[in-house]
Chains A and B, each alone.
Chain A
Amino acid sequence: MLDTLQLLFVWAPVVNIQLILEGIFIGAIFALSAYGLALVWGVMNIKNLAQGDFVIMGGYMAFGLNMYGVPLFIILPIVLVTMFAYGWVVYVLMIKRILDQDMFVSLLATFGLSLLMQQVINRIYGPEVQTIDMKLPVFEMFDGMVTVPSSKLLALLLAAVIALAVVVFMKRSRTGQAIRATAQDPRAARVLGINVDRIYAFTFAFNSALCGAAGVLVSIIFVIQPFYGITYSMGSFAIVTAAGLGNLPAVIVSAFGIGLFTKYCGFFESAYEYAAPVAVLLAVLMWRQVRMRKNRQVVR
């Protein structure tokens, strides 16, 4: 423990730069998937525990296409469209039927979906850890102590572009406005002529596509494995619980925060990297609860 601290702050402070960069990369992924989670949560009150598995599914789709030599700029739209369709199917078969149920049902049903997706992916691709090698140049700084693959920079840029597109879409487009109206008051939206059921389906499919995009980025900059989804689910939940629904700047800030925390934890002990988002989630829940308890309220 002390040795690692000394390494970080006395012997090789440049390692910090590497960790911060990695934290920003993983934070970008967390931000995308957390935004999707908050969208679905806010619009139709579904808590999607399969969020991370949608991400991993997108990653494996990209990995599969890459094996056939499909270039990245074609992979991304294919994954977006396929995941959008998949999200729509899941909505019609599952989510539609649990919309007006109590909230635990949505949690458990999506947990079941998460198990199913893990197992199907495991069946198709096997349990090995996979990654896409983009064969792009790697930048080295500080005598090779900090390495920045340009594929990671590309992924970060892509994440920013996607996030920007989503924000513009939600603010400007007719559908985006309808989604926000439905989130505010489904009944009023229905009265005003919005097909709420379609908006729900669209929102879930949109979230699925967003996760798919995040998954493509994961498969480029990190590794994917059928059972890694839970980390992203837990991270997204932690971010949304901390930032609240529909607060985009807070989502981005807490996503980068959790990314950095995860990377620093992983530096001390690699097993902690997996547990870090969970720890953050628990800490956020506790903190919110302590604050609420002063007013004799509870976290609902």
Chain B
Amino acid sequence: MTGSNWTYVGLGLFGILGPLLFPAYTLSIAFLWVMVLMASTWDVLGGQTGYNSLGNITFFGVGMYVSAIVQISFFYEGGVGEYTSAMGSIKPEFTEFEYFAGLFLGIIAAGLAGLLLSVIFSSFMFGLRGPYFAIGSLGLAIAAAEITITIDYVGGPSGISMPLFPGDIELRSTFFYAICFGFAIAAHFLLRWLYSTQYGLAINAIRDDEDKAEAMGIPTLIYKRIGWGIAAFFMGCIGAVVGNMVGFIDKEVAYPIPTFGIFMVAAALLGGKGTLWGPVLGAIIFHVIKDAAWTLLLGFQWIALGLLLIINIVYFQQGIMGWLQTKFPERFGIVVDQSKVRQSESKEAA
């Protein structure tokens, strides 16, 4: 059994036993898997393709709102407009079938909405490179948040309260935990498979030199679209799940640009971007630090997180996986050509 298999066993056991052993932390561990999913899918474009998006959170927010609309409009005869204008005073009783069917359809619709949006965005965003892409995508997220609160149909600034879960509260958190865990696993194995195919090599070529990659016949635009589409689909789905898990959505919940929007990037960088395990590892460590800061440093938690972010990026930006790779290259199957190193050293000496 190799090391990565043991990691799977360990993480799987933790994922299954975690909420059973520590039921009070179920939602916290659920958010851990959300972070893992976000960081991993960010890395498709950010680490592997070299397009650092700061706006993946757009798909999260849009997915959240789309699922809310689908869930309410399918099974509440008054429609979304009436539901939102009542500001939560209408509490329609959904039967179990209605609730779960609505949730299922909502998650699917949210993912598809994210996918569609990413296709639209990618038609004009991928002409921007480097910092312009990052700033432009951040602008998209801010614009989406501002546009959302001017739409009265989805409640405007006062938000929407989601349908009530038919069942007791412990079942509810376990249920949503399972969905989050499932999505994280699905995304991880999809990416693992994807990176092992020719697609993985192609997007790495795009990252290293896009002009050369294009000259070699790689359809760069399509490949970048696929990468962002995967991220957008999962971000939309998980947005729908988180919206239902939190139970109430508004601008702050749906477009957490300064929190999750930047945490996923920070987590991917902490673990080491451009690797399969880096974002997973980074997300776990980041989430643990974050929750510890919330408990131990209450009142100063944001300051602590800002400091962590700066220290991580400024002083330790190769990430944990990057550090391990330079420290123990042979364990990752990386061969360092010593002759070249010596040559350049002797040149410098001369």
A residues contacting B by CB (< 8 A) are 47, 49, 93-94, 97-98, 101-109, 111-113, 115-116, 118-120, 122-123, 230, 234, 237, 241, 269, 271-272, 274-275, 278-279, 281-282, 285-286, 289-290, 292-293, 298-300
Question: Once bound together, how far apart are the Cα atoms of A299 and B125, in whole Å?
Answer: 10
B313–A108 contact, CB under 8 A?
yes
Query: Chain B interface: which size bin?
Result: 35 or more
Q: Considering the complex, give the chain A residue whose CB is closest to the CB of B302.
A: A119
Q: Which residues of B contact A (CB under 8 A)?
A: 52, 54, 124, 127-132, 134-136, 139-140, 142-143, 146-147, 149-150, 157, 258, 262, 265-266, 269, 299-300, 302-303, 305-307, 309-310, 313-315, 317
A106 to B315, CA, bound (A): 12
Q: Complex: how many Å from CA A222 to CA B307?
A: 30
> Which residues of B lie under 8 Å from residue A275 when comparing CB positions?
142-143, 146-147
Q: Are B265 and A108 in contact (CB under 8 A)?
A: yes
Q: Enumerate 8 A-B pairs (CB-CB under 8 Å) in ascending A order.
A: A94-B310, A104-B134, A109-B314, A123-B299, A234-B139, A278-B142, A299-B127, A300-B130
Nearest-neighbor residue (CB-CB) of A271 within chain B = B150
Q: Name the distance in Å between B300's Cβ and chain A's nearest Cβ.
A: 7
Choose among B135, B143, B146, B305 the residue with the greatest number of A CB atoms under 10 Å from its CB.
B135
CA distance A97 to B299 in the complex (A): 30
Chain B residues whose CB sits within 8 angstroms of the CB of A271 once the complex forms: 146, 149-150, 157
CB proximity of B123 to chain A, nearest CB, Å: 11
Given known pairs A98-B314, A104-B52, A105-B317, the reply for A285 and B136 (CB within 8 Å) is yes
- Specify which of B130, B136, B302 is in contact with A103 (CB 8 Å cutoff): B130
Task: Identify whether the interface residues of A are mostly helix, strand, loop, or mixed.
Answer: helix
Is the pair B317, A116 in contact by a Cβ cutoff of 8 Å? no
Do residues A116 and B306 form an inter-chain contact, with CB atoms below 8 A? yes
Measured in the bound complex, the distance between the Cα atoms of B269 and A112 in whole Å is: 13
Q: Are B146 and A123 in contact (CB under 8 A)?
A: no
* Complex interface: chain A residues within 8 A of B146 (CB): 271-272, 274-275, 278
Complex Cα–Cα for A36 and B52 (A)? 25
Complex Cα–Cα for A94 and B124 (A):
33
Q: Known: A47-B131, A285-B136. Contact between A230 and B142, CB under 8 A? A: yes
Give the secondary structure class of B's interface. Answer: helix
The residue among A105, A112, A299 with the most chain B CB atoms within 10 A of its own CB is: A112
Interface contact B143-A282, CB-CB below 8 Å: yes
Of the residues A101, A105, A111, A120, contact of B262 by C-beta under 8 Å: A111
Which among B128, B130, B149 is the interface contact of A289 at CB below 8 angstroms?
Answer: B128
Q: Which residues of A contact B258 (CB under 8 A)?
A: 115, 118
Give the distance in Å from the alpha carbon of A102 to the alpha carbon of B134 in the complex.
Answer: 13
Complex Cα distance A146/B147, Å?
Answer: 30
Besides A116-B303, A289-B124, A300-B129, 17 other A-B contacts (C-beta < 8 A): A47-B135, A94-B310, A97-B314, A98-B313, A103-B131, A104-B130, A104-B131, A105-B317, A108-B309, A112-B306, A113-B310, A234-B139, A269-B150, A281-B135, A292-B127, A298-B129, A300-B130
A230 to B145, CA, bound (A): 14
Q: Return chain B residues, CB-CB under 8 Å to A102.
A: 130
Closest to B157 in A: A271
Which residues from A are CB-within-8-Å of B315? 97
Q: How far is the CA of A285 from the CA of B55 in the complex (A)?
A: 15
| CB-defined contacts of B262 to chain A, threshold 8 Å | 108, 111-112, 115
The closest CB in chain A to the CB of B126 belongs to A298
Enumerate chain A residues within 8 angstroms of B140, measured Cβ to Cβ.
Answer: 282
Q: Which residues of B lie under 8 Å from residue A241 when comparing CB positions?
A: 132
Query: In the bound complex, do residue A299 and residue B132 qualify as a contact, i.e. CB atoms below 8 Å apart?
Result: yes
Nearest Cβ distance between residue A229 and chain B, in whole angstroms?
A: 11
> Complex Cα distance A47/B130, Å?
11
The answer on a CB contact under 8 Å between B309 and A298 is no
CB-CB nearest in chain A for B303 = A119
A282-B310 contact in complex given A271-B149, A274-B146, A289-B127, C-beta closer than 8 Å: no
* Cα–Cα, bound, A97→B313 (Å): 10
Instruction: Pick the most buried of A49, A269, A292: most chain B CB atoms within 10 A of its CB.
Output: A49
- Which residues from A are CB-within-8-Å of B130? 102-104, 300
| Contact of B303 (CB < 8 Å), options: A94, A103, A111, A120 | A120
A292 to B132 Cα, complex, angstroms: 14
